[in-house]
Amino acid sequence: MLDLAIVGGGPAGLAAGLYATRGGLKDVVMFEMGMPGGQITSSSEMENYPGVAAVTDGMSFMAPWQEQCFRFGLKHEMVRVLRISKDGDGNFTIYLEGDQTRRARAVIVATGSTPRRAGIEGEDEFFGRGVSTCATCDGFFYKGKEVAVLGGGDTALEESLYLAKICSKVYLIHRRDEFRAA
């Protein structure tokens, strides 16, 4: 039985694994389908993360995290978690693809998020080179420029207000006749 199962391998999952293994847990497994590091690994330039003095890319930033975590005993299994259930004895069963199961005394779900894409032409081609999903992360690159934000929910309006403080003009593009934002 695992001492701890961590679902997700981004910064939160890796940090949980580091503190768990350094704290004395012996059998800690992180279930992450791909290479650990999370969404941040797709960033081409990072300069707004605390403690990062030089501009770096997300992949380079996360590489030492993986190395450190694995050095302290965190194990990585590249298998998809389908569901988790709490058993009558207070432990958990983790149901994995391929009809596999693992049991754990504790589970941390650190699956992060995936930005919603608009599905418009050029979006994938220009992602990270003019197309972004995070104004806080990338707004500085558009300082003094005209930008467009797609959407009408809370996030789109919050990002638009943030960008309005640093950009020369912000266009808010929404397909409905009213906003859904609170």
Residue 138 annotated as catalytic: yes
Q: What is the secondary structure of 128-159 as a DSSP string?
A: TTTB-S-HHHHGGGGTTSEEEEE--SHHHHHH
Residue 134 annotated as catalytic: yes
Sequence-distant (6+) residues with CB within 8 A of 17 are 6, 28, 30, 69, 74
Q: Annotated catalytic residue: which of 3, 138, 167, 177?
A: 138
Q: Annotated catalytic residue: which of 89, 99, 134, 154?
A: 134
Distance CA 97, CA 13 (A): 20
Q: Are 134 and 163 a contacting pair, CB within 8 Å?
A: no
Q: Annotated catalytic residue: which of 137, 154, 167, 177?
A: 137
Distance CA 128, CA 3 (A): 39
91: nearest Cα among 27, 34, 36, 33: 27
> Which residues are catalytically annotated?
134, 137-138
